[in-house]
């Protein structure tokens, strides 16, 4: 209902939803065009299981640059028929933006070349379902890790796929075959969570803004990767204004001094818990390079804009002054 989709199916995890959605539309010998970075698990899924099954991929890092995306689409279609376009926006952990309207144009161009339009699948975990509606921008399937904001309490693992009735029939029959449905207890917990979704997301997003703007002023912080801090007039800012109704609460910052410095900061935090999930009421911090994205090589991480000193935060609903005081305590480890 929130996605304004014909139908939605829930799954035993976000990864179960993602894999089932891709397998429902892509066959061995076909190719998926994908944005990068994706959530580390999805990156690894494409590079291992899907590749082994004969579903290849081609990728682009700059999802707002039509030339870069077209070049990747050419590369994909040189390998085989384009089965789908799979994107995550904003991306975990860099907040890289993918232009959904551009993806819709690329899908139509592919349809002209190969006679079949590849469906567009969007991982909407970071802003949806209240603040970004990919189906309104030409997407066909929206996937979620409901474990995150929708669940919201770090006490359930679930995923979903939503879209047109025709595509969802395929998704649902594959779910029946694989048997990766959601258990009834978690389904009940999700209905409880939906009651407070807007309250939690609004508070977390407002907190994130305060924390991010404070971080930006800190000398130890080299770079902020937050949707609310995109250069005015940039393509990313224009796309974000067009397709996203909020700036999110999962973002990253880079400290001077690389991985060792990032670890020093993380070790001092007391209010932020060190954990790799996101979207819960409690604030979490992690070093994505060695945790969520440890399956991506160091060289590839560099290409994806993940510096060694990158720390990812998932801001919760606590008092923002406590979160800022905690980060100040962490950053103090880098003084002197």
Ligand X SMILES: Cc1ncc(COP(=O)(O)O)c(C=O)c1O
Binding residues vs ligand X (CB under 6 A)? 13-15, 39, 41, 88, 92, 123, 125, 145, 147, 157, 159, 278
Q: Which is nearer to ligand X, 14 or 305 (CB)?
A: 14
Least separation, in Å, of the C-beta of 154 and ligand X?
Answer: 11
Q: Which is nearer to ligand X, 20 or 261 (CB)?
A: 20
Supply φ then ψ for residue 303, to 5 degrees. Answer: -65, -35
Least separation, in Å, of the C-beta of 40 and ligand X?
Answer: 8
Beta-carbon-side half-sphere exposure of residue 196 (alpha carbons within 13 Å) = 15
Which ranges of the chain would DSSP assign to H, the alpha helix?
14-25, 40-45, 51-52, 66-79, 100-114, 165-178, 184-194, 197-216, 235-243, 258-268, 298-303, 320-332
Q: Which is nearer to ligand X, 133 or 324 (CB)?
A: 133
Distance CA 133, CA 210 (A): 25
- At residue 220, the 3 state secondary structure works out as coil
Q: Which is nearer to ligand X, 145 or 283 (CB)?
A: 145
Which three-class secondary structure string do you get for 88-144?
A: ECCCCCCCCCCCHHHHHHHHHHHHHHHCCCCCEEEECCCCCCCCCCHHHHCCCEEEE
Least separation, in Å, of the C-beta of 41 and ligand X?
Answer: 5
Least separation, in Å, of the C-beta of 95 and ligand X?
Answer: 11
- At residue 54, the 3 state secondary structure works out as coil
| Closest-approach residue to ligand X (CB) | 14
Q: Which is nearer to ligand X, 95 or 147 (CB)?
A: 147
Least separation, in Å, of the C-beta of 158 and ligand X?
Answer: 7
For residue 178, count other CB atoms closer than 10 A to its CB.
14
Beta-carbon-side half-sphere exposure of residue 19 (alpha carbons within 13 Å) = 20
Radius of gyration of the chain (CA): 19
Look-up: residue for tokens 């998704």? 171
C-alpha torsion 219→225→228→231, nearest 10: 80
* Alpha-carbon 335 to chain mean position: 33
Least separation, in Å, of the C-beta of 54 and ligand X?
Answer: 23
Q: Which is nearer to ligand X, 30 or 92 (CB)?
A: 92
For residue 310, count other CB atoms closer than 10 A to its CB.
25
Least separation, in Å, of the C-beta of 136 and ligand X?
Answer: 20
Q: Which is nearer to ligand X, 88 or 307 (CB)?
A: 88
Convert 237-276 to b/e letters by CB count within 10 Å (16 or more is b). Answer: bebbeebbebbbbbbbbbbebebebbbbbbebbebbbeeb
Q: Which is nearer to ligand X, 13 or 20 (CB)?
A: 13
Least separation, in Å, of the C-beta of 203 and ligand X?
Answer: 20
Q: Which is nearer to ligand X, 30 or 292 (CB)?
A: 292
Least separation, in Å, of the C-beta of 221 and ligand X?
Answer: 23
């Amino acid at each position: 209902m929130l996605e304004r989709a014909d139908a939605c199916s829930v799954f035993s995890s976000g990864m179960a939803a993602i894999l089932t959605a891709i397998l429902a539309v892509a066959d061995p010998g076909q190719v998926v065009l994908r944005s990068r970075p994706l959530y580390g698990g999805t990156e690894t899924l494409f590079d291992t299981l899907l590749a082994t099954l004969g579903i290849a991929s081609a990728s682009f890092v700059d999802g707002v640059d039509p030339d870069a995306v077209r070049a990747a689409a050419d590369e994909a279609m040189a390998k085989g028929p384009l089965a789908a376009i799979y994107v995550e926006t904003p991306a975990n952990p860099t907040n890289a933006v993918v232009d959904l309207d551009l993806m819709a144009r690329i899908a139509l161009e592919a349809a002209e070349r190969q006679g079949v339009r590849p469906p567009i699948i969007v991982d909407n975990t970071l802003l949806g379902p209240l603040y970004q509606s990919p189906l309104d921008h030409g997407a066909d399937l929206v996937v979620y890790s409901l474990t995150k904001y929708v669940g919201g309490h770090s006490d359930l693992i679930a995923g979903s796929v939503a879209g047109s009735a025709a595509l969802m029939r395929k998704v649902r029959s594959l779910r029946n075959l694989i048997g990766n449905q959601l258990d009834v207890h978690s389904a009940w917990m999700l209905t409880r969570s939906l009651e407070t979704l807007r309250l939690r997301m609004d508070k977390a997003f407002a907190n994130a803004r305060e924390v991010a703007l404070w971080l930006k002023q800190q000398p130890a912080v080299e770079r902020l990767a937050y949707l609310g801090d995109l250069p005015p007039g940039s393509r990313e800012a224009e796309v974000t204004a067009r397709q996203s109704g909020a700036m999110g609460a999962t973002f990253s910052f880079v400290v001077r001094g690389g991985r060792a410095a990032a670890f020093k900061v993380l070790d001092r935090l007391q209010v932020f818990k060190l954990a790799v999930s996101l979207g819960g009421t409690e604030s979490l911090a992690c070093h994505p390079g060695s945790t969520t994205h440890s399956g991506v090589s160091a060289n590839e991480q560099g290409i994806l804009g993940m510096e060694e000193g990158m720390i990812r935060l998932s801001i919760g609903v606590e008092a923002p002054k406590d979160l800022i005081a905690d980060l100040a305590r962490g950053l103090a480890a880098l003084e002197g």
